[in-house]
Each structure stands twice: as structure tokens, then as C-alpha cells.
Amino acid sequence: MEHYDVIVIGAGHAGVEAANISEKYGLKTALITKNLSDLGKLSCNPSIGGVGKTHIASEVDILGGVICKIGDKSAIHYRVLNLSKGPAVWGVRAQIDRDLYSKHILKYIKSSKIDIIEDEAINILEKNNKILGVECVSAGKIKSKAVILTTGTFLNGKIYFGREVKEAGRIGNSSSKELAKFINKNFKTMRLKTGTPPRIYTQSIDYDVLEPQPSENNGIYLSYFTKQNTNKNINCYITKTNNKTHKIIRDNLDKSAMYSGIIKSEGVRYCPSIEDKITKFGDRSGHNIFLEPEGLNSDLVYPNGISNSLDIDIQLKFLRSIKGLEKCEVDQYGYAVEYDSVDPRELKLNFETKKIENFFLAGQINGTTGYEEAAGQGIYAAINAAIKLKKIKFNSEVFARNNSYIGVLVDDLTKLGVTEPYRMFTSRAENRLKLRTDNSYERFGININKKIFNKTEFTQIKKNINDESKIIKKLLSLKFSPNDLMKKNIKVKKDGKVRNGFEVLKFLEPTIENFKTFFNISINQKLLTKIYFDSKYEVFYDREKKSYEQLNKNKNMNLKNIDFNKIPSLSKEILEKLNKFKPENLYDAGKISGITPSALFQIVKHKKIKGDRVA
């Protein structure tokens, strides 16, 4: 019987990143998946990135992950959202050719030392709350020091086409019922749901009447390492629902899995089904639909914006009421999927379950949604497994909430849990101005090493860091008085303060020419943009740091052993919330909605008094 360091169950985005990084850190790794063809499958929309999602993906990228690199290799259309708002919220989004993506992932994993096991895991082996290995249908028992479970939407998965129900993890895949038994027995789980739209044959769409959305391939890619994208780039198209569509849907809400009450679990507010949109925003004359090609050689189109769980005849009827889709033919209808996910508060901060040592959970099973969110967790869990098993050199402070989106995600999940599938938004990060996609090499710098990058990549980062520090050094040595700046047509306060070049940078229009004439330093645009925004946001970094430190003080106030019920002065609502969220410290308690300062005050009092009596 093989003996692994790490077994990863599930080869979605969480599983692939976990297996990859675990292997890179020198752990003997196996990846179990039901079907080889599922490797890195994009279960839903054929795109990677977007605001918030790119942010996580770029962190995975700089930690040695694959999602961005392979994403760029398979991309056939780019857009950068928020381009005018600065790199802190740039959201590169790439349309991905599904087949290319799967092909590249498979090739990549096969070329690594990871053992791929095509099998179904049916049980987790443990003794005295310590992991022993995994049991599979065909391979039987496999031993390992750690297990990372990334089974996505498969646990007790059910899919709904309108009122028709099937047991499945997603279309075409059986649900994992055996494994679900172990999980439900050992952990607190909940039922969540999500949905996906129908897939339409591209030949049946009348593109002539639709507005095209061309690719904006402007040199901003998913991966830090990508120099260019050589694939043919193709258009997406935009169309809209109309009053007729709305009427059809409204008249048939009783034929929707979600609206007829068949599905009771929690859906996502920010991925609403078309039924939701029409019920909540019925006054709109139309909702946008983005027609996204599934690949260069695919004859399918993904109509983004109309995920639903209506009976299939109704789906066809409403589709054909939409401009350009009047004669559309459907390959596969939209459906909703409902599945078990684990309450992420069952996890320690390192994503190991509190109950079973060396058992890690990552991805959608933790109550999240999205490929990038899954990838971020996969890499995070595997790094932590490597830290534990091999004591690798890794500074985990980079995962502080104020230094990374992965940190924000981990903190939110393990502290607050979820009530609906969790997706990343940049506004979740208090320190948004610092957590930028263009500076991830800086934020994760201490952990960048030769193990996880090849030579070219490693030199690229080193060179980048060197160039930057040289330029910063020069800028710091240049001095400008308000008078000097006046002469150069820059308005600053006449405060007599002499500013260095770095401080002055924020007053310039950040073009290479400007930079050259003003400072007499040559620079490339990418670096210029980065240091320009560093200069601009500097004051906020300081402020943020102070308030973070302040908050950290509250973090030291441990609430673990407090029985809130013993503080009768707390109102019923507040007690309920505290008991639900079980904050570990005062800082976390303060983050719970509706908890008032006076409630915090009472908790502190209670704790102090108890403490006094003990002393």
C-alpha cells in the first residue's frame, strides 16, 4: 500500500492548486478524482477573473499556483474592468476555452510527480481524531499523513431542472453520497444552492442583430508572468431580456425549482437566477445577457445572466423571446444544484478541521463559490499542510487580513461562517488600497523561492524587485522645494516643506515621458503605474496600519471560554448572535452585525470581573 504525505480528494480548482503546491514543496502527493476528464473543469461560466476574483487569483499566481498561467494560455477574450479606477480594483477577466484549459491542466499535472488516482473516495480514515488516509471504491485504503478534501458541490449533490430532480454533483457527474456520510457525521454542515444557465448552439444565434463586445487585449493579463496571449481572440455579444421574457417567467414561477419551494436552501444574492431578478427588479425593462463563446472550436455559447431552474419547456420559450435568440437551440438546459457544505467555523485558521488533525478542507465545500475562491483555498490549505508536515520555510504572516485577499477570505470564513455561498469582493478588504494585483510580488515577497518557480519566472521577479528598488532609491535622493515645484507647474502648499521624488510623484500625470523629463529616470509603464499609486496611497497605508494595530489589541482579548449566557445584561438578539458566531476575541465580536459598543463593553466588564475574582 502506497504511503503519501498528502492526498487531495477532488480535482477542481481547489484540488489542482492544492496538489500542485504540495508537490512543489516536496511532499509525496496523490490526487484522487472521479474522472480524469474532470481535471480543472470549469463547472459553470467559461471565464476566469473579474473584480475581486482576479485579486485572489493573482495571489495564487505569486504563491506558485496555476490558475492564472493556464488561464492566460487558454484565454480567447480579455476585458479589464475598472481600468479607470486604478490597479487596486482592476479586474482582468478572461474568457476561457474550456477544452484548452482542461488540456493544459491535464498536461501540466501529468508532467508533475503527482500521482493521479481515478477513483471515488468513499471514506476518510482516522483514528483518535488523527488522519490515517482515504478509502476508495477500487483502490481501497490509501495511507497518508494529511488529506485535503476539495469535493466542491458533490456531497449529496442534487440537480434540479425545474421540478425534475436528479442526484448529481453537477451535470454528468454522480453525487458523492458515501463520503457525505462521513462528513455529515463528523461536522456541522448546511445545504447551499447555486445555479447555471442553459447552453445554446452558436449556429442558432442571429449575431447580426446583436451588439458585439470585442476583446480588449491591452497587455494586462491574469498572470504576473504572462508576456502575451497568442490565441485568436473572439467577440462576446450582448442582448437583453424584455417584457415578453419577463411575463413568461413571471407566469411560470410555479415551475421553478427555487420558487415552487422544492429547493429550500440558501442561494446567492449576487448570482441571482433570472427568476430572482424579475421578482425583485421587475420594474426594469430588461436585464443584460452576455453571450460568451465556450471555446474556439466549441459550438456552444454560455448566456451569462439567465441562470435558472425552470421546467425545460419554459426555458426554451423564454429564450426564444429574446432578441437574437428567436430561433435558438439548446444543448443543455439550465439547472440549480443543491449540496452539503461544511460550516467553515469547523476549521482552524490553517483550514485544518478542529476535530480531526491533518484533515484539511478547501474550496466550495467550505461554503464559497467561484473558481478563484476555490483555487485560493486549495493553495492555502496545501501550504499549511506542508508547513505542518515538513516544516517548510514559509512566513504565514502574509495571510494576515490586511495583507491578502486569501487572508480576508480565511478570516471571514473561519470567524463568521456563511449564510450563503461566499464570493470575494474588493470591498471585503479594509486595506483595499494596498491589496493590489500589481504588487502581489511585494506582499508575498518573503515566500518567493526557487522551489515554486522555474528559472525564468524567478529571474523575472528578482529583476523586477531590483529595478524597483533602484528607482525608489533615486527618487528618494531627489529633493524639491515648493518653489522648485512651482517652477515646474505643480501646485503644492507653500509650506516650505522639501519633498523627495517619491512624495512628488503623486502630483504628476503618470506617463513615461513625464517621469523622464521630471526625474530624468527611465522606467517602464507597469512599474511606473505601481509606484505612482504607492506614492498616492502612502498616507492611507499608514492610517490603515494604525487602525489595524488598534484592532489587533482587541484580538488579544480572548473570549473563547466565555459563556455569553452568563451575562444576562445582554439583550436576547445580541446573545443569539454571539452564540451563533462564537467570536474568539473582542475584535471578531465587533465585526458581527448589530453588536453594539455597549454590548462589547458589557462583555469586557464581565470578563474583567471574572478575572478579578480569580486573581
Partner 1 sequence: MFKSGTIFSNFTPLVKSPVIGYRISGDDVLEILKKLTNKNFSKNHSRVQIIKLFKRDGSILDECSVVYFKSPKSFTGEDVCEVFLHGSPLIASQFEQTLKEFKIPGLRLAKNGEFSYRSVLNNKNSLKQAKAINQIISNDSFSSLEYNKKLLFEGDQVSGLTSLREEAVDLFSEITASIDFVDDEEFNFKKIIKKAKIFFYKCHNILQKTKNMNKEKNICKIMLIGPVNVGKSTLFNKMIDKERAIVTNIKGTTRDILSNEFIFDGRMFEVFDTAGHRDKQGKIERVGYKKAQQLSLEIDHFFILSDKYSTKKQIYSLKKDFGIKNNYTLVETKSDQYQYQSKNVKINHNLEKDSVLSRLKISLIHKKYVSYKVKKADFNDEEIDFLENILQYKHDILNESDILIIAQIMRNILDDFSYEFGYINNEDVYDRVFSNFCIGK
Ligand X SMILES: Cc1cc2nc3c(=O)[nH]c(=O)nc-3n(C[C@H](O)[C@H](O)[C@H](O)COP(=O)(O)OP(=O)(O)OC[C@H]3O[C@@H](n4cnc5c(N)ncnc54)[C@H](O)[C@@H]3O)c2cc1C
Asked if 219 and 83 touch (Cβ cutoff 8 Å), the reply is no
Told to check if 276 binds ligand X by CB under 6 A, we report: no
Tell the smallest beta-carbon distance from residue 522 to partner 1 (Å): 27
User: Quick one: which of 54, 74, 95, 151 contacts ligand X (CB under 6 A)?
Assistant: 151
Of the candidate spans 19-27, 273-281, 338-346, 509-517, the one that interacts with partner 1 by CB under 8 A turns out to be 273-281
290 binds, among ligand X, partner 1, none (CB under 5 to 8 A by kind): partner 1
To the nearest whole angstrom, how small is the minimum distance from the Cβ of residue 363 to ligand X?
2
Pair type for strands 288-293 and 236-240? antiparallel
Tell me the C-alpha distance between 363 and 381, whole Å. Answer: 10
What angle do the packed helices 98-110 and 67-74 form, to 10 degrees?
130
Task: Report the site for ligand X in 171-200 (rule: CB under 6 A).
Answer: 173, 176, 179, 194-196
Q: Which residues are within 8 A (CB) of 63 and not within 5 positions of it... i.e. 6 or more apart?
A: 21, 379, 383, 444, 447, 452
- The answer to the question of residue 81 lying near partner 1 (CB under 8 A) is yes
Closer Cβ to partner 1, 201 or 281, answer by number: 281
Q: How far apart are CA 469 and CA 362, in angstroms?
A: 37
CA distance linking residue 88 with residue 319, whole number of Å: 38
- The partner in contact with residue 505, picked from partner 1, ligand X, none with C-beta cut-offs of 5 to 8 angstroms by kind, is none
Closer by beta carbon to ligand X, 194 or else 404: 194
Q: How many positions of this chain bind partner 1 (CB under 8 A)?
A: 53
**Rule CB under 8 A: which of 532-571 touch partner 1?**
536-537, 540, 567-571
Residue 365 C-beta: closest distance to ligand X, Å:
6
33 close to 11: Cβ distance less than 8 angstroms: yes
Q: How far is the CB of 490 from partner 1 (least distance, A)?
A: 16
φ/ψ region of 8 (left if φ > 0, alpha if ψ in -120 to 50, else beta) reads beta
Return the residues of window 330-389 that contact ligand X according to CB under 6 A. 337, 363-364, 369-371, 374
Binding-site string for partner 1 from residue 10 to residue 49, where x marks contact by CB under 8 A and - marks none: -----------------------------------x----
Distances, alpha carbon 578 to alpha carbons 213, 603, 605, in Å: 48, 11, 16
| Shortest spacing between CB 536 and ligand X, in angstroms | 32
Which set of grid coordinates corresponds to residue 244?
A: 415578453
Only segment of 22-30, 152-160, 434-442, 586-594 that touches ligand X (CB under 6 A): 152-160
Residue among 526, 381, 541 at smallest CA distance from 87: 526
Q: Give, in order, the Cα–Cα distances in Å from 361 to each of 158, 172, 202, 237, 320.
A: 21, 24, 38, 38, 42
Residue count, binding to ligand X (CB under 6 A): 37
Task: Answer yes or no whether residue 294 interacts with ligand X by CB under 6 A.
Answer: no
Q: Judged by CB under 6 A, does residue 310 bind ligand X?
A: no
Selection from partner 1, ligand X, none that 305 binds (CB < 5 to 8 A by kind) is partner 1
Q: Is 510 in the site for partner 1 (CB under 8 A)?
A: no
- Smallest CA-to-CA distance from 121 within 1, 5, 4, 10 is with 10
Q: Is 517:539 a contact under the CB 8 Å cutoff?
A: no
3-state secondary structure of 19: helix
Residues 6+ apart with CB under 8 A from 310: 162, 249, 252, 255, 256, 257, 275, 318, 334
Packing angle of the helix pair 53-62, 67-74 (nearest 10 deg):
110
Q: Which does 405 bind (CB under 5 to 8 A by kind): partner 1, ligand X, none?
A: none
| Of positions 13, 98, 104, 577, contacts ligand X by CB under 6 A | 13
Of 7, 15, 100, 144, the one binding ligand X by CB under 6 A: 15
Tell me if 34 contacts ligand X by CB under 6 A: yes
- Please report, as residue ranges, which positions from 587 to 606 form the binding site for partner 1 (by CB under 8 A): 590-598, 601-602, 605-606
Question: What burial class does residue 548 get, using C-beta atoms within 10 Å of its C-beta: 0-12 exposed, 13-18 middle, 19+ buried?
Answer: middle
Amino acid at 566: K
Q: Which of 42, 51, 48 is nearest to 72 (CA)?
A: 48
Q: Compute the distance between CA of residue 269 and CA of residue 199 in angstroms, rounded to an integer.
A: 22
Chain residues 299-328 in contact with partner 1, contact rule CB under 8 A = 304-305, 307
Q: For residue 309, which of 373, 353, 342, 265 has the smallest C-alpha distance?
A: 265
Q: Are strands 3-9 and 140-149 parallel, antiparallel or unpaired?
A: parallel
Stretch of 246-254, 275-283, 337-345, 354-362 contacting partner 1, by CB under 8 A: 275-283
Which residues contribute to the site for partner 1 (CB under 8 A)? 45, 51-52, 81-82, 85-86, 88-89, 91, 268-272, 277, 280-281, 284, 287, 290, 304-305, 307, 425-428, 430, 432-433, 536-537, 540, 567-571, 590-598, 601-602, 605-606, 609
Which residues here bind ligand X, judged by CB under 6 A?
A: 9-15, 32-35, 38, 43-44, 120-121, 150-154, 169-170, 173, 176, 179, 194-196, 271, 337, 363-364, 369-371, 374
